[in-house]
A = this chain, B = another copy of it.
């Protein structure tokens, strides 16, 4: 049976469905908004979101919330990354970072999964890196063109093809943790 990924973000769905295929799983995009809480933690946003989405859908499903946390900006834009991207965008981020020596940043992803009548479970993924001096690359979405992962070769996520990004990315890591757990559950459950 296909697994429902509740998201309005097509980019996320494409990234995640590619990983799911490696696990022999089929996922479907449920293009539906669910209630998101204001919180400084993507983990809480995903946990509450999974419950809300599952309630609205009436079926098992997962959601994913992620954020870019910039050290010199005290964690901005954090869990509000999507709104900040729609308003000030990468240009605004680079402007805020202009002349800033400390360019450390991390991406965090939280995957929340819920089945009707059960407690939600949450899986976290992180990737450390730094903010580029300018926008580079046109792949991925959001802040990908200004984020350089430490474990890469100096390219931004925006300069990487999906499979390559999935190997290093916060979202790839959180999703793999979730899918490994799910495979175990189905085997033993």
Contacts and interface: CB of A to CB of B under 8 A. Distances in A.
B95 A76 contact: no
Tallying the copies of this chain within the complex gives 2
B86 A74 contact: yes
Contact of A73 (B36, B78, B87, B98): B87
A78 B74 contact: no
Measured as residues with beta carbon below 8 angstroms from the partner, the interface class of chain A is 20 to 34
A87 B76 CA distance: 6
A180 interface: no
Contacts of A95: 95-96, 98
Contact of A80 (B45, B73, B75, B80): B80
Contact of A37 (B38, B76, B96): B38
A28 interface: no
Nearest to A38: B36
Interface string A111-124: 00000000000000
A168 to B, nearest CB: 26
B88 A78 contact: no
Interface of A: 35-38, 40, 45, 48, 73-78, 80, 83-84, 86-88, 92, 95-96, 98
